[in-house]
Amino acid sequence: MSSTEVVRKTQIIFREVNKRIAEITSAHEEKSSEFLCECGTATCATVIPLTLSDYPEIRKDDAHFITALGHRVDGVDRLVEARDGFEIVALVATEGVPSGS
Ligand SMILES: [Zn+2]
């Protein structure tokens, strides 16, 4: 697997975890929670505080991920929107791009 594929896979796993955080948070009738940075670095443990109204709005586009400031991976992510304390990024399309292996 190329490093890009590893990053993407990690991002998708972290996003699944964040979905669960959102579900658990709403089940407990909380209004906000701490979501994991989805930068794709397996060792990243940065949390991003978000309200439960922000999260679905950010995640309505399946291609979007949330990352802490400065965690965006060049060549894998492109900036969609900078917010207060975090960024919304999208995966760069890699169709036709050599894997680099
Ligand atoms: Zn991160």
Distance 54 CA to ligand 1 centre (A): 19
Residue 78 makes CB contacts below 8 A (sequence gap 6+) with: 89, 90, 91, 92
Q: How high is the pLDDT of residue 94?
A: 58
Is residue 69 a contact partner of residue 87, using CB atoms and an 8 Å limit?
yes
Query: What pLDDT does 74 receive?
Result: 85
HSE-CB at 85 with a 13 A cutoff on CA atoms is 8
Question: Per-residue pLDDT averaged across 4-16, rounded?
Answer: 90
Give pLDDT, residue 42: 86
Q: How far is the CA of 48 from the centre of ligand 1 (A)?
A: 9
Record the pTM. 0.83
Measured between alpha carbons, how far is residue 84 from residues 49, 66, 87 in Å?
A: 10, 12, 8
**Spacing, Cα 40 to ligand 1 middle (Å):** 7
pLDDT digits (tens, 9 = 90+) for 67-98: 999 999 888 889 999 999 999 999 887 555 55
Task: Please tell me the distance from the alpha carbon of residue 38 to that of residue 73, in angstroms, as a whole number.
Answer: 11
Q: Quick one: pLDDT at residue 98?
A: 53
